[in-house]
Structure formats: structure tokens, C-alpha cells
Amino acid sequence: MGSNLLILIYLLASITFIIGLKMLSHPARARRGNLIAAAGMAAAIAGTVFLYKDEDGNALHNYAWIFGGLLIGAIAGTVAARKVKMTAMPEMVSLFNGMGGACAALIAIVEFGHLVHNLQSVSGLTAIDTTFRDGLKQHLLIIVAGLVIGSISFAGSMVAWAKLNGKIRDFVFKGQHLFNIALLLIIFLLAVYLTGWLPAGGVSLFYIILGLSLLYGVFFVMPIGGADMPVVISLLNSFTGVAAACGGFLYNNKAMLTGGILVGAAGTLLTILMCKAMNRSLMNVLIGSFGATDKSTGGGKKEQGNYKEISLSDAAMIMNYAHKIIIVPGYGLAVAQAQHTCHELEKILEAKGVEVTYAIHPVAGRMPGHMNVLLAEADVSYDKLQEMEQANEAFPATDVVLVLGANDVVNPAAKTDPTSPIYGMPILDVELAKAVIVNKRSMKPGYAGIENNLFFRPKTSMLFGDAKKVLQDLIGELKAL
């Protein structure tokens, strides 16, 4: 009875994961979908703790450790989620994703230890002989797969967290691509050798694979920087999902398997879509060269000329008499925590008869969907958010484009400068509008580290200052008109 009930709970949990993921596709339902999926996970955890029994009919008994870990994790996660700033959300996503990879790797280590111990306890047989004789090679293959993928996800996510947090910088050396490919090939060959031939030193080889996987995770992410980081976060997230699915196979846990597959598949699809949006190949991501540039070439740093500055009163006047305005949010908006002020500006303009929409680049910000989440927090209507293709069609008929802290995603060098690191990346064609107002703190380059020649175009005017303060002042000027 208990076993059948547990299977039913796992089935229901799997259904809630699918429903929750589907509801995440629309901001109006996203919160509810998240809660539904979380409820399914809570039910799966409770069912496992109280109803699970092994093949010998033994139930779990170490409740103090189980509930102690659950309590510590719940408190740490809740506090971190409530205190994190929107600008630090990408770092938190990377950190939590890394913890998922670490859990998958630890499961693989524990299960490998159990496997070796159980097999060596069989009288007269070595672990190697027993693996072949009892047909456990597939079980070991899943363990090694979970170890490799989980370790890469953990190490890579920690490096991504440190880079997003500004603790470490990009690191590139000559022959980086070949080194990464060779390291990944060695890991693959050792994994095949361990599971297929099982040498006498199988335990040592297992931990060598662990060390090399962690090393690859570090070198995989170290050269990646600039506007490319959202793709890396998405890819690492898919790795964690696949590693969790391996754990589901090991424990025959349907909920864990379904959740891992959903995360892995969704992360992979998102990675492919973002690569397409960046006009990059997935292979470049896998070998750790995505976004890596040779700073010594000076690509994208040619002399541009002079820029023109606009006053707050003139900017307000232009926007007041516009018929259509498109706002392009960027990381600078998140840093200033100005999303609510931006929404207030939108309402002021609409009250004056101005049509206001938002143009969202697929990789704007520091993680997938960063700008969507930012604007949803300020209750901006989802119907006002235009994707890149839709916005690019609308720019020629737009009177004013207000760029708030975005940089690389509006840089025309992606189309005009073959020496630029972002050459070939699809961008928001804001320069097609009648006028462009760019709000930045200074003329310093963006996250990709290159200068933006949009700032020197005839249609572009620079409005310097903190995004929140500038928007507040704009609102005051507009109200006075």
C-alpha cells in the first residue's frame, strides 16, 4: 500500500512540474505555476521521507539528519531569496544551480562507494568481476555520468557566480580551445574505460575523473564574459537538470527523473534559442570559447568622434510631443532599481496620449529573462513587452527610443565592424527611430568591454546620470509641461 501511494505521489509531483513549467510561460501565471511546482516537490520529499522502503523493506530512519538538512536549507534559501537585490539575481541563480550540480555529484560519489562496498563483500569476487558478472555496468555508467555532468555544472556555476559578482575576471590563454577539447576528451575516454574495462584501480580512476571534471568546469567558464554570460547560465542549468535525472535513474525516483529531464530539456532549448539570438554556435559554448576575445586586438575600440548631450528639459519636451516611444531596458536600470520609476514614467506619458512599449533583447541583462523579471516586478503589462524581431519592425515608425542602461544589445558595431567581438550578433536596431536618447552614468563601455558607436550617431543624444534619478527628474519635467 505504501509503495503504491508513493508511486502515486511521484506521479502527481511530476504532473505539477509540467503544469508549473507551462504556467511559467506567462508572467500573469508564473507565480502560481511556481507555487504549484513547489507544492509538488514538497509532496515528493514528504512521500520519500515517510513512505520509501528499500528492497529489503527497510524504511528511512535517520530523521534527525534529514530534517536538520531540510531546515538549514529552507532557512538559507528563504533568507537569500528575500535579501537578494534584483541586480544580484543572476549570481544567486548561478549559486543555487551550482548547488544542484554539487548534489548530483555527491549522490554519484556516495552511490559509487556503496556499489564498491557491496560488490567487494561478495566472497571470492572483486568489484571488477562482479560488475561484469551481475550486469551492473549500466548502473555504474549512470553513476559516472552524474558525477561528470554534476561536477562540471558545480565548478562552472561557481566560476560564473564569481565572475558575475566581480570577484574574478576572464582568463584566456593561447590554445584554450584545444586544451578544453582535449580535457573533455580525456574525461570521456576515462569514463568509458572505467565503465567498460574497469581496471583494478577503478576507485582511484573514479576520483581522477571527478578532479578532471571539476577542472574542466573551471576552464569551460573562465574565458567566457561580456554579454555571453546568460547563455552560459542557461547551459549550466541544463547540465544540472541532466545530472539530477541521473540521480532519478539511480534511485528509480520518478519525480526526480521527471524534474531533471524537464530542467535539462528546457535549459537546452533556451540555450539553443539564445545562441541563435547571439548568432553563435552551441559548439563554441561547449569548448569554452563563447565570448572569449583577445583584448589586445582592440576590436570595437576605434576612434568614434564626438557625442552630443541633451538636457532633462529638452528630453522631456521631445518625449511629451512624441506619438510613439519605445523603452529599451538594460542592466543599468536594474543597478539603479529604477523599474518602478520607469513604469511611472510610462503611465505619465500614456496619460498624455503617447504610446509606450518596451523592447527586450533575448540576452539583455545578466541572465535569461532578466529584463522580463525586472519589469514584471514593477507590474509592467506583459503585452507591452516586444521581442527583438517585433521591436525592430516597429523602430522606423517610432518617434523616440529611450535606452536605459543597455549597451551591447544596441551596438551597431555588431552589424558594421567585423573586428568587433560582438560582430554578427543580432541587435535592437534603435538607430532606425527618429530620435534616440541614451541614459548612462558615463561613457564607459558596457559588460562586453567595447565602445558603442551608437552614442556617436547623429540621431543619438546622451542623458547622463543614475537611471532612477534621471527618470524621476523626467517625470517632474513632464508634469510641469
Edge-first strand order for the sheet with 460-464 is: 385-387, 355-360, 324-329, 400-404, 435-440, 460-464
408 is catalytic: yes
Phi-psi category of residue 198: left, alpha or beta, with phi > 0 → left and psi -120 to 50 → alpha: left
Strand pairing class (385-387; 355-360): parallel
**317 phi, psi to nearest 5 deg:** -65, -45
- Amino acid, single-letter form, for residue 364: A
**324 phi, psi to nearest 5 deg:** -140, 130
**Can you spell out the DSSP letters for 348-380?**
HHHHTT-EEEEEE-TT-SSSTTHHHHHHHHTT-
CB atoms within 10 A of CB 3: 11
> Which of 408, 429, 466, 473 is the catalytic position?
408
Q: Give the SS3 label for residue 401.
A: strand
Instruction: Measure Cα distances from 282 to 7, 94, 223, 273 in Å.
Output: 37, 20, 15, 10
**Can you spell out the DSSP letters for 421-438?**
TTTT-----GGGSSEEEE
Q: Which residues are part of the catalytic machinery?
A: 408
